[in-house]
Chain A
Amino acid sequence: NAGVTQTPKFRILKIGQSMTLQCTQDMNHNYMYWYRQDPGMGLKLIYYSVGAGITDKGEVPNGYNVSRSTTEDFPLRLELAAPSQTSVYFCASSSLRSGTVEQYFGPGTRLTVT
């Protein structure tokens, strides 16, 4: 099992450009999440999905969009990049099993917007 994989590892965007951060998991997990981590801070939830075709906003959704067409993939879209979106982005997944809440994280994508 590769677990949760994210591409790219690093990216530099100019203000106003758009990009898609890719996330794939091979654990057959129903739940998937996108977080961002700013320097010296904890992780903040951007969007999450409880299954294919179902997505919902987290704490900091503005400037982002998501889709979930398959169980495995959960891409995050930035339409008009702004310097405030400079951050490290983590994708995570978790199982539907009752009593299990731990999430498994990918290695992250470091994004710089200049």
Chain B
Amino acid sequence: DQQVKQNSPSLSVQEGRISILNCDYTNSMFDYFLWYKKYPAEGPTFLISISSIKDKNEDGRFTVFLNKSAKHLSLHIVPSQPGDSAVYFCAASAGLRAGNKLTFGGGTRVLVKP
């Protein structure tokens, strides 16, 4: 049973345009949602997070939107840059009460074309 799903395995976007990555979850106990970026042969790097009491969080070019009723979140990257080409993972957590454990989606590979 996949509790966190990223239904688009890949995404190609032109430099300067917006990248939109989507993620769905099923577990109502999740309180926090995170996005990680991963380059080949490196560990995942934390990008941005949002708690369930918010519906939007912005950090520079990255914005995460949360729709709790739909159990859906998205990551917007604008403008997209070639250095953004990587695999992006959505993750969810039930917080300290669950050991801060993260449940990951399968990832979306983003290619930003110059």
Contact = CB atoms under 8 A, between A and B. Distances in A.
B104 A42 contact: yes
A96 interface: yes
B114 interface: no
B42 A104 contact: no
A92 B102 CA distance: 11
A41 interface: yes
Contacts of A80: none
A42 B105 contact: yes
Contacts of A92: 43
B43 A106 contact: yes
Interface string A95-109: 010110111111110
Nearest to B32: A101
A94 B42 contact: no
B99 A103 contact: no
A48 B106 CA distance: 20
A92 B101 CA distance: 10
A96 B103 CA distance: 18
B43 A31 contact: no
A101 B49 contact: yes
A102 B46 contact: yes
Nearest to B36: A105
Given A56-B99, A58-B101, A102-B34, A43 B46 contact: no
Interface stretch (B60-68, B76-84, B89-97): B89-97
B51 A43 contact: no
B16 interface: no
Contacts of B107: 40-42
Contacts of A82: none
